[in-house]
Chain A
Amino acid sequence: MYINWQSRELNIKIVYYGPVLSGKTTNLEQIHAGVNPKRRTELVSLKTHEDSTLFFDFMQLELGKIGGLSPKIHLYTVPGKAYYESSRRLVLRGADGVVFVADSSEDRLKSNLQSWRKMKEHLSSFGVAYGNIPLVLQCNKQDLPNSLDPVILKKLLRVEGYPTFGAVAIASLGVAETFKAIMQSVVNHVQHQLV
Chain B
Amino acid sequence: MNLVSRGALISSDLAASQEIARVTGEYQNHHMILHEGKTSHTFISGAGPHLVLFVKVLSEIPLGWSRKYVREAVSKIEEIIGARAKRSGKEMGFDKNGFQDKLDHALEDLWSK
Contact = CB atoms under 8 A, between A and B. Distances in A.
Interface of A: 2-3, 5-6, 8, 11, 34-37, 39, 41-42, 44, 46, 55-56, 58-61, 63-64, 66-69, 71, 74, 86-87, 89-91, 93, 176, 179-180, 183-184, 187-188, 191, 193-195
A36 B111 contact: yes
Interface string B77-98: 0000000100111101111111
A187 B5 contact: no
A2 B89 contact: no
22 contacts: A3-B89, A5-B87, A36-B112, A36-B113, A41-B4, A41-B5, A44-B5, A56-B12, A60-B4, A60-B8, A64-B109, A66-B99, A67-B94, A67-B102, A86-B19, A87-B16, A89-B19, A184-B104, A187-B100, A194-B96, A195-B88, A195-B89
B2 A41 contact: yes
B93 A68 contact: yes
Nearest to B89: A194
A66 to B, nearest CB: 5
A193 to B, nearest CB: 8
B50 interface: yes
B25 to A, nearest CB: 14
A187 B19 contact: no
B58 interface: no
Contacts of A11: 50
Overall SS of chain B's interface: helix
A37 to B, nearest CB: 7
A96 B52 CA distance: 19
A3 B48 CA distance: 13
Chain B interface residue bracket vs A: 35 or more
Contact of A67 (B12, B88, B97): B97
A90 B8 CA distance: 13
Give 7 nearest A-B pairs by CB, closest first. A63-B106, A194-B89, A2-B50, A67-B95, A58-B8, A67-B99, A35-B110
Contacts of B4: 41, 60
B93 to A, nearest CB: 5
A93 B15 contact: yes
Most buried by A among B16, B93, B98, B103: B103
A130 to B, nearest CB: 22
A184 B108 CA distance: 12
Given A90-B19, A180-B107, A191-B99, 17 more contacts: A5-B84, A36-B109, A41-B5, A44-B1, A60-B4, A63-B110, A64-B106, A68-B95, A89-B19, A90-B12, A90-B15, A184-B100, A187-B99, A187-B103, A191-B100, A194-B89, A195-B90
